[in-house]
Amino acid sequence: MDMSGRAVPRINIRPEVSMLSVLKHLNYKAWFAVAEFIDNSIQSYLANEDALRAVEGPDFKLRIHIGLDASAGRIEVSDNAAGIALSDFPRAFRPAEVPPDRSGLSEFGMGMKAAACWFTDLWQVRTKALGEPVERIVRFDISDIVNHKTETLLVEEVPADHTAHYTVITLEQLGPRFPPARTQKKLKDHLTSIYRMFLRRNDIELIWDVDGHTLEFAEVAILDAPPATNPHLPAVEWRKDVHLDFGEGRIIRGFAALRAEGSTTHAGFALFRRNRLIVGSDDETFRPQDIFGNTNSYRYQRLFGELQIEGFEVSHTKDGFKWNELEHDVLERLRAVLEEEPLNLLRQAEQHRTRQTRATAKPAAQKATEAVTTDLKKAAGEVLSATPAAPELEHVVPPTSGHLDSDPVSERSVEILVDGKRWHITLRMTLDPSVNEWLRFSDEKVPQLFDDLEDHHLTVDVSLAHPFVEQFVGPDNENMELMVRFATAIAVALTKMKHSGADPRLPLHYINRLLRDSLSGKLP
């Protein structure tokens, strides 16, 4: 080869050509595969920033274009970085050739080759290195290379302005690997999330050629509120810095915070290495249960943060960290930081409640009132017009608890004083499908020989086999407590009404009938 740049007839792609055919089986997602090309563009810019500004001026910006052509089954990623220099050609196109400097975004010598081969067998690189007099094109046909055991590839050269600089990677005939319309939005959103650190700079842009828009990361508003444990105190921003040192250069630093508005899809941590996201992009955030709890917890919806991970190795596809024996220690120490006073993020996440505003409540309120009024119209008139027989009324409020379910799945008792009388309240959850009523209760007066207080034993049965519960309790029973609270309020209020001389049986009968036959949300 002529190192002056006048001719590079061939490049060597040994040692293992057959390796190229295996790369299509890597466990990539489309956004992490495209990210390999973007990594190279950014690294080329960062390594040659001074030279690029010397040619283009101080206001130069790196612009990376991502183009998708569905009709041709083609993806094209292009940039105005420094291009691939002649001296880097042997390494750039040979599989598993590690770069001399592994401190940047390009460290394994596999990214571009692996990602391109994962997408398709047919791809090419057209590049013009800053300061060199020619544009060079290298074409890959993996099937042909493997079948003929090709070890060298021709390099096409075209004269070009020595001040020009760019690289264009074109992936052809993607077939089923071409992202369908529903995946294209995810691809766009994930790339925005992965490169948010770089997009926050004013000198790097990702341009989505499908619509011509420059990608911008939507920053998350942080909760500003008084501590839930003492709401009379002044409001504070619920954000804290994180710095954990595990020795031997292994450091986790960044911030953790609470979202002003909870999100079941986008709360969670984003984990970075060298400012490039590795774990937790877009709606696939890092939410270990030891810290975030179950999916229906408030901290699962509010806690988020960005953490730089230093000194830990990553997978060769750059979508995971190798924690090794430190994983438990990492989570334990991270949780401890989150719970440190005076800014205990986990406690605040669980206890803080956002006041409803008219704007936030209106859409859900309109949807709820529409659904309930529709159900009322279907059957409520018929339910309320039916006069119950006496045995039906006896069934909902029997004289003793012996007439209630004898095998509850949960039972808990509490004692309270009401009007100078002692109430023993027993809450029970049942699963008997033969019981038609959602709520039944018994109220028994128990004579006392050695106590002046009057005793009442109130037993409340809530049926979990009722259509209303089955429809609204939630896939993970997340609304179970709401059901129990609502039922308890009704039973206790009706008992108080009974002690005042009114008959609670008729209203409870109609409540049960309405919830079963009109308001259970079941399709007719």
Task: Report pLDDT for 342.
Answer: 94
Q: What is the mean pLDDT of residues 509-522?
A: 87
How many angstroms separate the Cα of 159 from the Cα of each of 5, 6, 163, 353?
A: 10, 9, 12, 66
Task: Count Cα atoms within 13 angstroms, Cβ side, for 479.
Answer: 12
Cβ atoms within 10 A of the Cβ of 182, count? 7
Q: How confident is the model at residue 49 (pLDDT cuts 50, 70, 90)?
A: very high
What are the DSSP calls for 14-73, one per residue?
-S-TTHHHHGGGS---HHHHHHHHHHHHHHHHHHTHHHHHHHH-TT--EEEEEEEETTTT
Mean pLDDT of 338-350: 96
The larger pLDDT score, comparing residue 522 to residue 524, is at 522
pLDDT at 524: 43
Lowest-confidence region among 88-97, 149-158, 227-236, 493-502 = 88-97
Whole-number CA gyration radius for the chain = 33
- Could you say which DSSP state residue 407 is in? S
Question: Per-residue pLDDT averaged across 166-183, rounded?
Answer: 94
CB 89 within 8 A of CB 12: no
Closest listed residue to residue 515, CA positions, set 476, 463, 451 = 463
Map 94-158 to HEC letters: CCCCCCCCCCCCCCCCCHHHHHHHHHCCEEEEEEECCCCCEEEEEEEEHHHHHHCCCCEEEEEEE
pLDDT at 64 over 50: yes
> Do 93 and 145 touch, CB atoms closer than 8 A?
no
How does the average pLDDT of the chain come out, rounded? Answer: 89
- The pLDDT value given to residue 206: 98
Confidence band for 140, pLDDT divided at 50, 70 and 90:
very high
User: Can you give the pLDDT at residue 523?
Assistant: 45
pLDDT mean over 105-128: 86
Q: Which residues contact 325 (CB under 8 A, 6 or more apart)?
A: none
Confidence of residue 318 (pLDDT cuts 50, 70, 90): confident
Give pLDDT, residue 226: 95
pLDDT band at 343 (very low <50, low <70, confident <90, very high): very high
Res 380 pLDDT > 60: yes
pTM of the model: 0.73
Q: Is residue 360 scored above 80 in pLDDT? A: no
Which residues are CB-contacts of 65 (< 8 A; sequence separation ≥ 6)? 76, 77, 78, 79, 207, 209
Domain 224-351 has CATH 3.30.230: yes
Buried b (16+ CB within 10 A) or exposed e, 48-87: beeebeeeeeeeeebbbbbebeeeebbbbbbbbbbbbbbe
Give mean pLDDT, residues 493-499: 92
**Domain residues of the chain, as ranges?**
10-214, 224-351, 378-517
Average pLDDT over residues 390-403: 81
Q: How far is CA 124 from CA 75, 120, 167, 432, in A?
A: 11, 11, 10, 67
Of residues 266 and 1, more confidently modeled: 266
Question: Which of 64, 70, 4, 71 is closest to 34 using CA atoms?
Answer: 64
> How many whole angstroms separate alpha carbon 66 and alpha carbon 78?
7
Q: Which of 442, 478, 445, 444 is nearest to 461 (CA)?
A: 442
| Beta-sheet strand order (sheet of 239-245) | 239-245, 251-258, 303-310, 268-273, 276-279
Measured between alpha carbons, how far is residue 254 from residues 225, 271, 306, 311 in Å?
A: 22, 9, 6, 15
Average pLDDT on 13-25 reads 63
CA–CA gap between residue 104 and residue 111 (Å, rounded): 13
> Is a pLDDT exceeding 90 seen at residue 479?
no
Res 4: pLDDT:
47
Q: What is the pLDDT of residues 438-470, one digit of tens each?
A: 999 988 887 765 566 678 899 999 999 888 998
Q: Which of 385, 433, 382 is nearest to 407 (CA)?
A: 433
Is the torsion defined by CA of 101, 107, 109, 112 positive or negative?
negative
> Do 193 and 281 touch, CB atoms closer than 8 A?
yes
- Token digits for 199? 């997009």
According to the model, what pLDDT value does residue 267 have? 96
Long-range contacts of 363-371 (CB under 8 A, 24+ apart): 371/521
**Helix ranges (DSSP H) in 180-264:** 181-194, 196-199
Q: Does residue 61 have a pLDDT over 60?
A: yes
Output the pLDDT for position 353: 84
* Lowest mean pLDDT, pick from 89-98, 134-143, 410-419, 487-496: 89-98
Residues 226, 244, 230: CA angle, nearest 5 degrees: 15
What CA–CA distance (Å, rounded) separates 375 from 520? 8
What's the CATH code, domain 10-214? 3.30.565.10
Nearest to 490 by CA among 469, 510, 474: 510
pLDDT tens-digit series, residues 178-222: 999 889 999 999 999 999 999 999 999 999 998 899 999 999 999
Sheet containing 439-446: order of strands:
410-418, 421-430, 454-463, 439-446
pLDDT at 174 over 90: yes
109, pLDDT greater than 60? no
Task: State the Cα torsion 142-146-111-103 to the nearest 10°.
Answer: -140
Least confident of 41-50, 76-85, 189-198, 460-469: 460-469
Q: What confidence category does residue 490 fall into, taking pLDDT thresholds of 50, 70 and 90?
A: very high
pLDDT of residue 98: 66
pLDDT value at 12 more than 60: yes
Structure tokens at 97: 């050739």
Q: Which DSSP category does 326 fall into? A: G
**Which phi and psi angles does 218 have, rounded to 5°?**
-80, 110
Q: Using the predicted structure, report yes or no on whether residue 434 has a pLDDT greater than 90.
A: no
